[in-house]
């Protein structure tokens, strides 16, 4: 059955006119950067050794997760040894973990024991819309560059509730995000405990399970580790895609983003250049009453962080930073108390790295949404983007508990 699944995936790629990218014997190393010269050395070798950064150290003393093709493995290790890097091997064959993420056999209904394609997620949205018509209101913010609808649902049990807005899978390869948020949607529709029932009945939830629909499909059909959108980035067509979480129109391209179309953090030729972002902001501006959204969440992986503004500076903090930290603590404490999973919280710039043009920054500075976060889900780098399907339910359950704690904490500071 596994062979049949792999043959199907290969056939699908051929139908799409491209060969499926494989990562046989690619390795992922955790490399600590203790000196500026070490960082510069790795940057200089990036193209020569075809290095791919999964997670980049932003400060000295921190570590980067770096994927290396098999033909350059020996050269990379010699480089590390010759320049006194501290490092460890985290993944010895990336493709083996990718194969484990793909189901041996597609089941006929939506379960959280496997990662689902965009078509399967949309079929499930159709199902819940028809099953719960008084609770679920479907919406579409528009179409992607390749013409796919970008769909979401509003879950509301009663009028007059404050709202939370969640966009997920803005980075294509972060499959755990859409798997987690669809589980949470299901929990809201059939609450199994009093805490979830409370946040379901007394909060409206606007949720887009997959924002980067083109990249998400591409990551399933062609290149599992694809991150960006699929809009061509330069006139030659050599480089494809924008980092959509650098494309929002607030301090666009100030810091933590690239103007090189071939990089993973390319912010696009202009703010809101990609239809996914221009239509997202237009939907929030035109279709949701001003002031009703109290919390904005951009769901990502990996690292286990709750990150608030500001992203562009580590020396200034927003006016509502104390409230942001109180609510982030509520999320992290609830999750840790029940499941023992640790999330670190703080501003992006002080906790992880500097970034501008992101969703949470726009939500706070432009839309005056008091509590905006980027939430990075599991793990801390052991498997990174290639978590096994067995992790979906544990991750989703703990995030659900975190959302319950988040809402309780928001009420304590009069946000909700």
Do residues 303 and 57 lie in contact, with contact meaning Cβ atoms separated by under 8 Å? Answer: no
Beta strands in 121-197 (DSSP E): 136-143, 149-155, 163-168
Q: Does 238 participate in catalysis according to the annotation? A: no
Residue carrying the six token digits 């059955």: 1
- Helix or strand (DSSP H, E) at 68: strand 62-68
Count CB-CB contacts under 10 A for residue 290.
9
Give dist(CA 150, CA 15) in Å, integer: 23
Question: Which residues partner with 301 through β-bridges?
Answer: 377
Give dist(CA 247, CA 268) in Å, integer: 6
Q: Which position among 223, 272, 361, 376 bears the catalytic label? A: 376
**Which residue stretches of 222-311 are H helix?**
275-287
The strand order across the sheet containing 62-68 reads 52-55, 62-68, 27-33, 86-91
**Angular region, 348: left φ>0, alpha ψ -120 to 50, beta rest:** alpha
Measured at the CA of 371, the angle between CA 258 and CA 133, to 5 degrees, comes to 100
Indicate which residues carry an active-site annotation.
Answer: 376
């Amino acid at each position: 059955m596994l062979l049949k699944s792999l043959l199907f995936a290969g056939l699908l790629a051929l139908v799409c006119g491209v060969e499926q990218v494989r990562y046989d014997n690619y390795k992922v190393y955790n490399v600590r950067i203790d000196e500026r010269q070490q960082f510069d050395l790795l940057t200089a070798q990036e193209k020569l050794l075809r290095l791919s950064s999964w997670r980049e150290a932003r400060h000295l003393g921190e570590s980067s997760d770096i994927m290396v093709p098999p033909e350059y493995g020996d050269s990379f290790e010699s480089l590390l040894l010759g320049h006194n890097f501290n490092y460890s091997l985290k993944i010895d064959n990336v493709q083996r973990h990718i194969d484990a993420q793909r189901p041996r056999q597609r089941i006929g209904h939506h379960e959280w024991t496997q990662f689902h394609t965009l078509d399967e997620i949309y079929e499930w949205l159709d199902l819940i819309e028809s099953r719960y018509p008084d609770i679920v209101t479907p919406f579409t913010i528009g179409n992607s560059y390749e013409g796919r609808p970008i769909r979401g649902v509003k879950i509301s049990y009663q009028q007059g509730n404050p709202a939370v807005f969640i966009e997920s899978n803005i980075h294509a390869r972060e499959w755990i995000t859409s798997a987690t948020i669809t589980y949470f949607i299901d929990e809201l529709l059939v609450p199994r405990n009093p805490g979830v029932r409370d946040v379901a009945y007394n909060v409206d939830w606007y949720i887009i399970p997959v924002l980067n629909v083109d990249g998400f499909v591409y990551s399933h059909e062609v290149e599992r580790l694809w991150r960006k959108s699929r809009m061509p980035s330069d006139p030659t067509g050599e480089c494809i895609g924008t980092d959509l979480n650098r494309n929002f129109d607030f301090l666009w391209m100030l810091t933590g983003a690239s103007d090189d179309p071939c990089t993973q953090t390319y912010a696009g030729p202009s703010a809101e250049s990609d239809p996914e972002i221009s239509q997202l902001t237009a939907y929030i501006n035109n279709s949701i009453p001003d002031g009703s959204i109290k919390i904005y969440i951009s769901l990502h992986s990996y690292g286990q962080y709750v990150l608030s503004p500001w992203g562009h500076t580590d020396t200034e903090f927003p006016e509502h930073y104390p409230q942001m930290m109180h609510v982030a603590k509520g999320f992290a404490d609830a999750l840790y108390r029940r499941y023992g999973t640790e999330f670190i919280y703080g501003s992006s710039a002080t906790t992880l790295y500097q970034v501008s043009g992101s969703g949470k920054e726009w939500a706070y500075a432009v839309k005056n949404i008091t509590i905006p976060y980027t939430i990075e889900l599991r793990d801390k780098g052991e498997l990174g983007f290639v978590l096994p399907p067995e992790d979906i339910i544990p991750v989703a359950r703990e995030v659900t508990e975190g959302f319950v704690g988040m809402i309780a904490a928001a009420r304590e500071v009069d946000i909700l």
